Chains A and B, each alone.
Chain A
């Protein structure tokens, strides 16, 4: 009676020769390379968008601050009335109003960037 060890050693599973196996592997690896390249391209694009947005926000903030300091508002010269009051309000708070706009732009770009990465 044959021993189980002998039986197992003598009956290794037979693998059918399949020349297309490596070819299929190569095709899959090519697909992986394509996906990798696309992910890298998207990441690079997102990084550029982020940097541009940050730079724009910073420039807008600097510009707003410069305008506020260079052209101080003479409140007395604006006179009376609703429209004038509104203008007075805008003139008085313009350097504070521009900052939220810039911040909003930055946050929007961050949200869009993170959504893009999630989709990948």
Chain B
């Protein structure tokens, strides 16, 4: 895959990819972007092995998820405070700020797999099958993580 072709594919996927990692990093945009950059370099190096058996975005998200897991394993992540991580528009800031603060704090408190399943299903509108491919777990396990994730989030989010 040429560099230009890769960049053109990435351009359409960069926002969803960064949003997915932002959710995984519980609102730490700087960390999310760093992991996204690492994932893109890894994907480019491995682009010769992309056979097209799945969608490019699914393949890319899988690499990004693995990068995130590697990051969590290698470093004892100093999780940024949610207040610092928030970067919200100024309009109706108070309401939105409160909602996002709740969301990120809640995401920070649930297990990684549940967080990833929730982020892919609700924020990226991915199907169970796609989530299964991205996380490398069976569909039934994805449903279980989604269910547990919802239950855990309910405990931390004031609806």
A4 touches which of B3, B7, B150 (Cβ 8 Å): B150
The answer on a CB contact under 8 Å between B23 and A22 is no
Residues of A within 8 A of B14 (CB): 21-22, 25
Shortest B67–chain A CB gap in Å is 13
Chain B contact surface mostly: helix
Q: Cα distance A7–B157 when bound, in Å? A: 9
Report the interface size class on chain A. 20 to 34
The answer on a CB contact under 8 Å between B10 and A13 is no
A-B contact count (CB 8 A): 78
**With A5-B150, A21-B33, A26-B7: A13-B123 Cβ-Cβ less than 8 Å:** yes
Of B39-47, B52-60, B126-134, the stretch lying at the interface with chain A is B39-47
Q: Cα distance A2–B103 when bound, in Å? A: 14
Chain A contact surface mostly: helix
The answer on a CB contact under 8 Å between A7 and B123 is no
B99 interface hit (Cβ, 8 Å): yes
Q: Cα distance A9–B19 when bound, in Å? A: 13
Q: Cα distance A97–B131 when bound, in Å? A: 67
Most buried by A among B7, B122, B157, B159: B122
